[in-house]
Amino acid sequence: MLKKIRAWIRLIVGLEFISGTNQDGSTLYVVGLKEDNEVWDEVRVTFKGQALPGVKCHFLKMDCEDIPCSHIFVVLKFLGFDIIPRCCVVDRWTMGATAAFRSDKNNDPNVWSEHMVRYRSLRNMGSDAFFEAARKLEQTKNVMDFLNGVLDKGSASHENIVAADFGPMPTHFLSSNQPLEKRVLDPDEIRAKEAPSKRQRPFRETLNANN
């Protein structure tokens, strides 16, 4: 994950801050290409005193992959931030994240649990059902009310379980966009073992062997 963030940070060399305006209690910053200012994106930042509780970019990288985009980093640099603020770090990338689907066999994450099987069945059917419900406003409201009821019952029966604490959750989960902790997990890089190189004899040994 940190490799992706570093890649987006490197892209800020081709971007520049253009302007900033205050709108509805927040500040709207415009970031564009250095070579062509007609190509730009908007970053909306919400301030609470000197703290920065929220930031949202029109590029929607945070919404898609839970990772800040280069436009956000340009604004953070302009504002003088030396570290990534908490609002740009979601809980699923931190050390506080837990497995969304616990295994039924020896805690092996490669073994699907019944919970995960049920989830996949609901997701597959829900995709078609949501598409059909979205055709009419009344059906959409009924489905939303039903889903809110399911979420309310779940939160009431599992008071100590917060969905935002789950680590390997799909990014399309509503709860995967919750910001949190400072410490971020960076998986260890696995280096493949190369074949042993053949020893090359020094020049003098080769010369003596030929003679």
Q: List pLDDT tens digits, range 16-67.
A: 999 999 987 899 999 999 988 788 999 999 988 878 889 999 888 888 888 9
Spatial CA neighbour of 54 closest among 18, 24, 99, 9: 24
The pLDDT value given to residue 66: 87
Q: Does residue 90 contact residue 176 with C-beta atoms inside 8 Å? A: yes
Instruction: Tell whether the model's pLDDT for residue 170 goes beyond 70.
Output: no
The pLDDT value given to residue 2: 80
pTM assigned to the model = 0.52
Mean pLDDT of all residues in 4-15 = 91
- Locate 207 and state its tokens: 């010369």
Spatial CA neighbour of 166 closest among 104, 106, 108, 91: 91
CA 96 to chain CA mean position, Å: 15
Q: 3-class DSSP state for residue 117?
A: helix
C-alpha to C-alpha distance for 63 and 66, rounded to whole angstroms:
6
The pLDDT value given to residue 150: 85
The pLDDT value given to residue 60: 87
Mean pLDDT of all residues in 95-100 = 65
Instruction: Tell whether the model's pLDDT for residue 200 goes beyond 60.
Output: no
Mean pLDDT of all residues in 117-122 = 80
The pLDDT value given to residue 49: 81
> Dihedral of CA 22/57/179/159: which sign?
positive
User: Bridge partners of 65?
Assistant: none
Comparison of pLDDT for 143 and 109, the residue scoring more? 143
CA torsion angle for 90, 92, 93, 95 (degrees, to 10)? 110
The pLDDT value given to residue 171: 43
Q: Is 176 exposed, middle or buried (0-12, 13-18, 19+ CB in 10 A)?
A: buried
